[in-house]
Amino acid sequence: MNKELLILKKYWGFNSFLPNQELIIKGILNRKDTVALIPTGGGKSMCFQIPALILKGVCLVVSPLIALIDDQVQRLKSLDIKAEGLHSGLSKNQQNAIIHKLLEEELRLLYISPEKLQSKKFRSILQRVNVSFIAVDEAHCISQWGYDFRPDYLKIANIRELFPEINIAAFTATANKKTLEDIVNFLNLYKPKIIRGSFLKKNLSFGLIETEKKLRILNLILNELEGSGIVYMRSRKGTVYLAELLSKNGDNVLYYHAGMDAAKRRQVQSDWIKNKARVIVSTTAFGMGIDKPDVRFVIHFDLPTSIEEYYQETGRAGRDGKHSSVLLIYNKNDLSILKKNYLDTFPTIENIELTYNNLIEFLNIDFALSKTKNIDLDDFYKYNGLNNFKTYKCISELERYGYISLNIPIRDRFSQLQIKFEPDYLDIIKSKDSKGYNVFKNAILIYENLFISSADILENKIAKRAGVDTNTVINILKKYSGSKHIVYKQQNLKFRINFLKGKHLSIDNTELIFRKNITKKNIKSVTEYLNYKKCRQKYILKYFDEKLRKTCKICDICQDVENNNYSNSEFKAFKEKINAFQFDQDTDINDLIFIDTYLRRNKNIQMLKPFFENGELAVLGNRIIKT
């Protein structure tokens, strides 16, 4: 028995490798640059952990999230493997103790962030260390995050300056052709051995539900699905609010997001893994690398920003190989919100230059003297000539390119609004306060998820739509916030700005356009997925450059085809429910599809067809009517 199998047996208790694991391990042991595309559940972590235990020295594992680092390290320590994670969540004494172990050659694996790898102090320490190889875990983040808010991902290859002969192994569960090219290029891999596993998930049932009653449908689904699961949202505050709403139904629902302190995150993660809570509502900060094999469902309550992100997150379901449900619940407004938040955020190079020059002029900056000034953003918005949102995005780009810095947290740079009252309460407001009703009605039309989560808002945008001045909107929101009907926090418009470079800009317009095109392609792929009318997994595999000759037979589209037979007694019972149903102005197709149980939705779709064919039911605008 070779060393790899002996270690596999000793630490993990397995007698044989999963497909492709041995190929990857041998590539690393032979000092080859390697890229491993192994879908979630394929045992990719073992592929660098086993070589780390064979080769002399310490393996540096570059990992994106503190939660992921802590989870991996804790698991390795439970196997009596000498591993540590060095990150900002540790005290100075804890970090010093780990560095001491590193220098004393007491570690086989050290997990770090890409930012830590660029630290001059840490790099000077590494020069005194025998590094066996570099493993880049969740390597798709190079492409997904590196261009925008984690630029140090694009600099990982700089480690070769210290260790020119070292080999790098990159691991990901999601990568199409473009992402794979980014991984190879930015890691500066030399003739890499690329090993791909199949992206087909035979045990996952993919489904889409389009509905204007997202919360109602989610509650119905959670009441019927068994086992533990994850509900994904994009907003931190949205996770808190949705978890509170779902808990009212008697379910034990936790929430998780990166804004929570480390101890709280660890506790929530532990409680969910140990099944002390069935459902966790989370941002995308949760789940990457978390080893919970019995997740029976993953539900997206917000649209993902790309198919890669979506596939990565859905892969947290069914890692034990048993049947699991993967659902995306959305409405028509979600796509426009996605485009607005991610595509329309890119200003032109001309707008950025205009904003920078106007900042210098507005603040009367003399680069030979003080480069730090107080600024009232509201006054500058008026001075700059662009709308507030574009001006702010230009300032953000100037900050990203290192021309300025602001002494205010990102969360305070926009006003925030969340509506706590039930939608029916609008009628009461209308009868007593027409101006208030006008403001809330138009705020809801612009920011569709205000009843679910807190949203960054622009008061002047609401004012323009409502036909009033901005101060009227602000005063009304303050008034109702005081009565606890809403949560309203007005943006902080006064802060200090520090100019870090000279008077003239030098920003690469090609890079800006490139980043926008990537976002455009990602959103296009999500749009195509929503509109795809064939097997869900066929589209996903096609995205990852893999063909599926047959249909998956278990997604909602395939099930609609497979389950097209129903008995006379089933149809009779279904017809009785349709006849008894109370149709109103809000009735949509999902009310009828889920008329009795979520689990019968595919058969119900088939039984509804005769009602439309014989004219008993009809579509009028966005609603269903009984003729």
Count of beta carbons in the 10 Å neighbourhood of residue 580: 8
164 and 38 part of one domain:
yes
**In this predicted structure, what is the pLDDT of residue 416?**
82
**pLDDT, averaged across the chain:** 84
Please report whether residue 480 resides in a domain: yes
Contacts of 169 (CB under 8 A, 6+ apart): 24, 27, 28, 33, 34, 35, 36, 47, 48, 51, 133, 134, 135, 136
The pLDDT score that the predictor gives to residue 599 is 66
User: Residue 525: inside a domain, yes or no?
Assistant: no
288 has pLDDT over 80: no
**Same-domain pairing of 498 and 485:** no
Give, as one character, the DSSP assignment of residue 132.
Answer: E
> Crossing angle for the helix pair 388-400 and 459-466, nearest 10 degrees?
160
Which of 170, 196, 222 is a domain's end point? Answer: 196
Is residue 362 a part of any domain in this protein? yes
Please state the rounded mean pLDDT for residues 314-320: 88
Measured CA to CA, the distance from residue 376 to residue 582 in angstroms comes to 55
pLDDT at site 528:
94
- Compare 134 and 251 and report the one with higher pLDDT: 134
Q: What is the DSSP string of 188-247?
A: T-SS-EEEE-----TTEEEEEEE-S-HHHHHHHHHHH--SEEEEE-S-HHHHHHHHHHHH
Query: d(Cα 22, Cα 28) in Å, to the nearest integer?
Result: 10
Q: Please, is 13 exposed, middle or buried when counting C-beta atoms within 10 Å of its C-beta (0-12, 13-18, 19+)?
A: exposed
Range of the domain at 225: 204-330+532-547
Residue of 471 and 297 predicted with greater confidence: 297
Asked if pLDDT for residue 296 goes beyond 80, the answer is yes
Amino acid at 124: S
Cα within 13 Å of Cα(568), Cβ side: 0
Query: What is the CB-side half-sphere exposure of residue 78 using CA atoms within 13 A?
Result: 7
Do both 216 and 351 map to the same domain? no
The answer to whether residue 524 sits within a structural domain is: no
Mean pLDDT of 229-238: 87
Spatial distance between the Cα atoms of 115 and 214, rounded to a whole number of angstroms: 38
pLDDT digits (tens, 9 = 90+) for 106-147: 999 999 888 888 888 888 999 999 999 999 988 877 765 555
Return phi, psi of residue 296, to 5°. -90, -15
Confidence of residue 613 (pLDDT cuts 50, 70, 90): confident
Residue 11 included in any domain:
yes
Please say if the pLDDT value at position 573 is more than 80: yes
Residue 453's Cβ-side half-sphere holds a number of Cα atoms within 13 Å equal to 20
pLDDT at 491 > cutoff 80? no
Best mean pLDDT range from 87-91, 408-412, 441-445:
441-445
Asked whether residue 506 falls in the same domain as residue 604, the answer is no
Q: Are residues 318 and 384 in the same domain?
A: no
CA distance 356 to 351: 9
Closest by CA to 259, choosing from 67, 460, 496, is 67
Q: How many domains does the chain have?
A: 5
Q: 125 and 81 in one domain?
A: yes
Chain centroid to CA 608: 35
Specify whether 225 is located in the same domain as 87. no
All residues at 6 or more sequence positions from 389 whose CB lies less than 8 Å from its CB, including other chains: 458, 461
Confidence (pLDDT) at 55: 93
Look up the CATH number of the domain holding residue 507.
Answer: 1.10.10.10
Q: Note whether 402 and 463 are same-domain residues.
A: no
Neighbours of 622 (CB within 10 A): 12
Query: Is residue 450 assigned to a domain?
Result: yes
Residue 553, in any domain of the structure: no
Quick one: which of 460, 456, 425 has its CA closest to 442? 460
Q: What is the mean pLDDT of residues 149-163?
A: 78
One-letter amino acid of 101: K
Q: What does the angle CA 405 – CA 409 – CA 413 come to, to the nearest 5 degrees?
A: 95
Q: Is 113 exposed, middle or buried, given 0-12, 13-18 or 19+ CB atoms closer than 10 A? A: buried
pLDDT score, position 372? 85
Are residue 128 and residue 29 in the same domain, yes or no? yes
Tell me the C-alpha distance between 62 and 50, whole Å. Answer: 16
Verify that 540 and 485 share a domain, yes or no.
no
Could you tell me if residue 526 is inside a domain? no
How many CA atoms within 13 Å lie on the side-chain side of 228? 21
Task: Check whether residue 407 and residue 419 sit in a common domain.
Answer: no
Which range is least confidently modeled, 82-86, 177-181, 360-364, 452-456?
452-456
Which tokens hold the place of 4?
Answer: 């790899």
Identify the CATH number of the domain in which residue 242 sits.
Answer: 3.40.50.300
Question: 354 and 280: one domain?
Answer: no
Mapped onto helix, strand or coil, the DSSP state of residue 390 is: helix
